[in-house]
Amino acid sequence: MKPHIKVFKFGGASVKDATGIRNVAEIISQYNETPLAIVVSALGKTTNQLEEVLNAYYGNGDDIQAKLNSVKENHLAIINELFDESHEIYDLINDILIEIDWVLDEKPEQEYDYIYDQLVSVGEMLSTRIVAAYLNEVGIAAQWLDARDVLLTDDTYREGQILWEQTEENVDRQVLPILNSGKKVITQGFIGSTKDNQTTTLGREGSDFTAAIFSYCLNAEDMTIWKDVPGVLTADPRLFKNVQKLDRLSYKEAIEMTYYGANVIHPKTIKPLQNKNIPLYVKSFLAPAQPGTYIGIEVEDHYPPIVVVEKNQSLLHFARKDFSFVVEHHMADIFKLFADLRIFVNMMRNTAISFTVCVPSVSDRIERLISALEDDYKITRDDGLELLTIRHYKEEVLDSITKGKIILLEEKLRNTVQMVTKEVPLMERL
């Protein structure tokens, strides 16, 4: 009989400091008899900090070392609080940090996305070493596992595509024996490796997807994402008042929400779980006894309005310079460029002689797209926009949310409305 394996995922907010790591250990201690595979993200804002180091490196900035020192000091402060000075964790962390120095010692001759994966992935290596060491320190038998030895991907850097058959074989061979020995597995989210042992990442915030991959391969009983909110909410509480927690969600609704940009769960997370009917719980690490949100197959689709806001959007408008129609083969050429540059189209509309899309404002990719098309198209670009998506909308909700905004593009479906909006100051009488 197979053990009832559970998979936990702890994000950066849960392990941002020594207090957070102690709390994670307390949660895990409540599952002493349960086989647990635990996926951990980089500490706090480490990924953002490492991205700043990388951008300074490519921009020949003179503050690279200062930015890197900030990462080092944050981690050192945490281990100073959790361990005595003779603990082996100091050597383990130092060895990992040296890997960053090796990367930065060379001139940036390789492509940005490749170097991104080699450098930014270090955050997860650091966090999991610390968490695994602390669990063992407090008497929870845990074994650190390098996810790059298990999760095999292709060589699409910054968005590695999982090679499922080889990954499943690796999980059976490497992860199950650890769990069967009675130890917890501590591994990294977000990262994998090519067949040539080059580090890849699975896309920003990809740790949820990592946990779903392990859940699928282990035939887990369930998976839990531990966050700093009580569950899946009807909107971002930092942006809206009177949000509600959703007690239950169907896989279908969860997929729709993540597709439209809800960042409580990574978009690729649901499908592997749905394939094997593995329930997903979203719970609060601040109140672990609370039920959180259940996501599964047997849920009725009756929901209040759910609002998703994606900031930092750009609206691109393409018109043929010769005033010819924008027909299928033109759109095929444009979409091939979107695919090649990995620019995700959030919304689109075409007319006889023009084509408009809303995309995330990733400037370097947009500039490459415009450069490739500007000979044949007149292209206008509007930045600093928001994409609002409301599932199960009501007119009074639309009126409230769009107050003080210009709607640049709108699309209404049966139960979903999307709008690209721009903030405008309300006029007041002099």
Mean pLDDT of the chain: 93
The upper half-sphere exposure of residue 156, i.e. CA atoms within 13 Å in the direction of its Cβ, equals 13
Phi, psi of 398 (to 5 degrees): -60, -45
User: Residues 151, 15: one domain?
Assistant: yes
Ranges 37-41, 69-73, 422-426: which has the least confidence:
422-426
Dist CA 136 CA 133 (whole Å): 5
Provide the pLDDT for residue 1. 40
Confidence of residue 406 (pLDDT cuts 50, 70, 90): very high
User: In this structure, is residue 403 part of a structural domain?
Assistant: yes
Domain final position from 205, 227, 249: 227
Confidence of residue 202 (pLDDT cuts 50, 70, 90): very high
Q: Which residues contact 396 (CB under 8 A, 6 or more apart)?
A: none
Question: Who has greater pLDDT, 101 or 164?
Answer: 164
Mean of pLDDT values over 139-161: 97
User: Residues 312, 164: one domain?
Assistant: no
Provide the pLDDT for residue 220. 98
Residue range 358-370, pLDDT digits in tens: 999 988 899 999 9
User: What is the amino acid identity at position 8?
Assistant: F
Q: Which residues contact 414 (CB under 8 A, 6 or more apart)?
A: none
pLDDT at 144 over 70: yes
Do 215 and 273 touch, CB atoms closer than 8 A? yes
User: In this structure, is residue 72 part of a structural domain?
Assistant: yes
pLDDT at 350 over 90: no
Provide the pLDDT for residue 107. 83
Q: How many CB atoms lie within 10 A of CB 166?
A: 14
Mean of pLDDT values over 16-41: 97
Domain range enclosing 70: 6-227
β-bridge mates for residue 227, sequence order: 284
User: Residues 49, 189: one domain?
Assistant: yes
β-bridge mates for residue 283, sequence order: 226
Evaluated on CA atoms 342, 345, 350, 354, the torsion sign reads negative
Confidence of residue 67 (pLDDT cuts 50, 70, 90): very high
Torsion of CA 228, 270, 309, 420, to 10 degrees: 170
Dist CA 29 CA 168 (whole Å): 28
pLDDT at 328 over 90: no
User: Residues 314, 214: one domain?
Assistant: no
User: In this structure, is residue 295 part of a structural domain?
Assistant: no
User: Residues 156, 62: one domain?
Assistant: yes
Confidence of residue 394 (pLDDT cuts 50, 70, 90): confident
User: In this structure, is residue 124 part of a structural domain?
Assistant: yes
The upper half-sphere exposure of residue 420, i.e. CA atoms within 13 Å in the direction of its Cβ, equals 21
pLDDT at 20 over 80: yes
User: Residues 221, 328: one domain?
Assistant: no
pTM for the model stands at 0.90
CA distances in angstroms from 165 to 39, 144, 151, 392, listed in the order given: 20, 23, 10, 38
Q: What separation, in Å, do the N-terminal and C-terminal C-alpha atoms of the chain show? A: 77
**φ/ψ bin of 219: left (φ > 0), alpha (ψ from -120 to 50), beta (otherwise):** left
Indicate the pairing of strand 6-10 with strand 222-227.
Answer: parallel
Judged by DSSP in three states, 322 sits in coil
User: In this structure, is residue 289 part of a structural domain?
Assistant: no
Token match 């700093």: residue? 228
User: Residues 222, 318: one domain?
Assistant: no
Do 145 and 176 touch, CB atoms closer than 8 A? no
pLDDT at 430 over 70: no
Dist CA 187 CA 34 (whole Å): 17
Helix or strand holding residue 380 (H, E): strand 377-391
pLDDT at 236 over 80: yes
User: Residues 189, 65: one domain?
Assistant: yes
Do 350 and 326 touch, CB atoms closer than 8 A? yes
Residue range 74-97, pLDDT digits in tens: 999 999 999 999 999 999 999 999
Q: Percentage of the chain surpassing pLDDT 90?
A: 75
Do 196 and 163 touch, CB atoms closer than 8 A? no
User: Residues 323, 212: one domain?
Assistant: no
Provide the pLDDT for residue 102. 86
Q: Which residues contact 326 (CB under 8 A, 6 or more apart)?
A: 318, 319, 320, 350, 351, 352, 353, 354, 355
Confidence of residue 327 (pLDDT cuts 50, 70, 90): confident
Q: Percentage of the chain surpassing pLDDT 70?
A: 98
Question: Who has greater pLDDT, 415 or 152?
Answer: 152
Q: Which of 375, 300, 343, 285 is nearest to 159 (CA)?
A: 343
Domain count of the fold of the chain: 2
pLDDT at 2 over 60: no
Domain final position from 184, 202, 227: 227
User: Residues 202, 341: one domain?
Assistant: no
User: In this structure, is residue 285 part of a structural domain?
Assistant: no
Domain final position from 227, 259, 275: 227
User: In this structure, is residue 282 part of a structural domain?
Assistant: no
Provide the pLDDT for residue 6. 98
Please report, for the domain that includes residue 206, its CATH number: 3.40.1160.10
pLDDT at 141 over 50: yes
Mean of pLDDT values over 148-161: 96
Confidence of residue 299 (pLDDT cuts 50, 70, 90): confident
Dist CA 117 CA 113 (whole Å): 6
User: In this structure, is residue 373 part of a structural domain?
Assistant: yes
Please report, for the domain that includes residue 416, its CATH number: 3.30.2130.10
User: What is the amino acid identity at position 236?
Assistant: D
User: Residues 145, 58: one domain?
Assistant: yes
